[in-house]
């Protein structure tokens, strides 16, 4: 396993080969046209609208798996890891998609412009694959010339294009629009489930608090009541215990174990592993 790609930071910094349109320092729209068979994992720093224009992609996040086909889309909320496998038509050829990173401030501006009153959310609207309308497909195709010289695109025009996207999504899919509303007013969910699904990702405590629908202070307080320890200590120990299990039961190299459990630096992982267990991970792997 390679290091998890952070979306959109890796795209904006140029650490990952892509074609992106950037607004206010964050990737807003990323175009991907690749040969079928590419796979990997990215961690969402912003909400992601994933649009498939050719082929299909299989997305796995937590215990859920989604298959998004040509002219379909899915909205995934931030602060979670997503694994992907891209396929061409009939398993061959090119795969084509556009990834829209929806920043919180842009969603807020759109809802304010629309004068949308967000009702209290009593249930969680989970990710769901939705069909794209002809208008939304045409909108995506209209963006193609923008990628020819992205540095010359006026930022004000790009902001208008993102607003146009949100209008199209609102008209196209009621389910995704409800999800967008919920991004602004998350439903409080079970902390245990959130932690178990995400502790192997490079999540921060702020990320976990957001996923649980709580403020950071409320998350820490509720976590302490459930686990009788701090979230940082619990998650670190759970990752290390899982790392030991993998080293003992598989042939995975130390670096792969580190990356698979959300550690971004194998050297740092080795250091804290040795502090916790009193021996280096490479020693356990050799037993």
Whole-angstrom distance between the N-terminal and C-terminal Cα of the chain? 22
- The per-residue pLDDT of the chain, averaged, comes to 86
Architecture of domain 5-184: Sandwich (2.60)
* Statement: residue 279 has pLDDT above 80: yes
Residues of the chain with CATH 1.10.10.60: 191-286
Report which listed range, 32-41, 198-207, 225-234, is most confident. 225-234
pLDDT in tens, 170-198: 888 888 888 888 887 777 888 998 898 88
* Statement: residue 168 has pLDDT above 70: yes
Residues of the chain with CATH 2.60.120.280: 5-184
- 75 vs 265, which has greater pLDDT? 75
Has domain 191-286 been given CATH number 1.10.10.60?
yes
* Statement: residue 26 has pLDDT above 70: no
pLDDT confidence tier of residue 33, bands split at 50, 70 and 90:
confident
pLDDT in tens, 96-128: 999 999 888 888 888 888 877 766 666 666 789
CA distances from 173 to 72, 79, 106, 117, 176 (A): 11, 23, 19, 18, 5
Two structure tokens written together for 164: 């146009």
pLDDT in tens, 239-255: 999 999 999 998 888 99
pLDDT at 197: 86
Contacts 24+ apart (CB under 8 A), 18-26: 19/147, 19/150, 20/150, 21/143, 21/146, 21/147, 21/150, 21/153, 21/158, 22/150, 23/103, 23/155, 23/158, 23/159, 23/162, 24/103, 24/155, 26/101, 26/103
Region 19-44 average pLDDT:
78
Whole-structure pTM value: 0.81
Q: What gap in Å lies between CA 73 and CA 235, rounded to an integer? A: 33
> For 39-53, 65-79, 147-161, 270-284, which range has the lowest pLDDT when averaged over its residues?
147-161
């Amino acid at each position: 396993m390679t290091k998890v790609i952070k979306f959109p930071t890796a795209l904006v910094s140029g650490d990952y080969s892509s074609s992106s349109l950037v607004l206010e320092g964050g990737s807003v729209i990323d175009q991907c046209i690749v040969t079928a068979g590419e796979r990997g994992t990215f961690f969402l720093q912003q909400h992601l609208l994933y649009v498939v224009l050719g082929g299909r992609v299989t997305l796995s996040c937590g215990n859920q798996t989604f298959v998004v086909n040509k002219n379909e889309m899915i909205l995934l909320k931030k602060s979670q890891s997503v694994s992907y496998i891209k396929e061409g038509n009939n398993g061959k050829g090119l795969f084509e998609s556009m990834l829209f990173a929806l920043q919180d401030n842009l969603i807020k501006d759109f809802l304010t412009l629309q004068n949308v009153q967000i009702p209290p959310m009593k249930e969680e609207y989970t990710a769901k694959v939705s069909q794209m309308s002809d208008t939304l497909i045409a909108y995506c195709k209209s963006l193609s010339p923008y990628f020819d010289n992205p540095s010359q695109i006026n930022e004000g025009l790009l902001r208008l294009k993102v607003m146009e996207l949100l209008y199209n999504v609102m008209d196209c899919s009621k389910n995704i629009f409800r999800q967008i509303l919920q991004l602004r007013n998350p439903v409080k969910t079970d902390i245990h489930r959130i932690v178990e699904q995400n502790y192997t990702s490079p999540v921060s405590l702020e990320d976990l608090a957001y996923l649980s629908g709580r403020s950071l202070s409320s998350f820490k307080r509720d976590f302490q009541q459930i686990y009788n320890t701090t979230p940082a200590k619990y998650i670190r120990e759970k990752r290390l215990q899982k790392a030991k299990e993998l080293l003992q039961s598989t042939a995975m190299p130390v670096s792969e174990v580190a990356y698979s459990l959300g550690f971004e630096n194998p050297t740092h992982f080795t250091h804290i592993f040795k502090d916790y267990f009193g021996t280096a991970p490479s020693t356990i792997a050799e037993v």
